[in-house]
Amino acid sequence: MNPTAGDQARALLLTYALAQLGDGRRPEQAFADLVALGIDRRTAAVAVCAACGTPWEAAQARMTGLDDLWASLADGPAQTAGSLLELYGFFDREVELSPEQTVIAGALNTAMAQAEYVPHGFANQVRRQLRTGRLREAFLALEELGARQWPDNGPFWSALVTAAAGLDRAELLDAEVAAARRRCENLAGRAV
């Protein structure tokens, strides 16, 4: 089967983006470099996302989820557009969570839903951590913020206890997770 011109163009864009990332460029910089070469912004974003490890078709589908945001990204400087795409996790390589990780991620999402107000930037960062499998980091961030913001929110702490129990099984002998779990259990018990 002969590759089409579109397949060849995709391969060239992917090769260029991989080379940029391999040279130490950040995804938003590689995006701006492709745009500077005259590549359509949407195509450049998909190419960099694919170079970061997301299948091309999945990157295209992810791009359609940004249609509302794209109007503000289309005309400004390419570096700004790339930075916004990076901030919102467009270039992130999402992972498929195991069943155990899915339970932990669900508990962390439940905890966030129980909070009165989660700052947008913080919530975005936690969601990125969940999509990319960094559950430990998401748990520790929520535990730290929760101690300052919602010490009396029982449902929040109960959900974090559930997440911590799952992490304790997955992250054997992790002293930091174990200590955070004890703090969560204390706060959950105190809020009852």
Query: 60-110 pLDDT, tens per residue?
Result: 988 887 777 777 777 789 999 999 899 888 999 989 999 999 999 999 999
Its pTM stands at 0.77
- Please check whether residue 31 is in contact with residue 78, taking contact to mean a CB–CB distance below 8 angstroms: yes
Q: What pLDDT, on the 0 to 100 scale, is given for residue 138? A: 96
Q: Which of 145, 158, 144 shows the shortest CA–CA distance to 186?
A: 158
Instruction: Calculate mean pLDDT across residues 54-59.
Output: 92
Q: What pLDDT, on the 0 to 100 scale, is given for residue 2? A: 58
Q: What pLDDT, on the 0 to 100 scale, is given for residue 20? A: 94
pLDDT band at residue 156 using 50, 70 and 90 as cut-offs: very high
Count CB-CB contacts under 10 A for residue 164: 27
Q: What angle do CA 175, 180, 184 make, to 5 degrees?
A: 150
Which whole-number Å values give the CA distances from 108 to 82, 91, 133, in the listed order? 29, 23, 12
Question: Is the pLDDT reported for residue 133 higher than 70?
Answer: yes
Show Cβ contacts of residue 31 under 8 Å, excluding neighbours closer than 6 positions: 41, 44, 45, 48, 78, 81, 82, 85, 91
Question: Is the pLDDT reported for residue 159 higher than 90?
Answer: yes
pLDDT band at residue 192 using 50, 70 and 90 as cut-offs: low
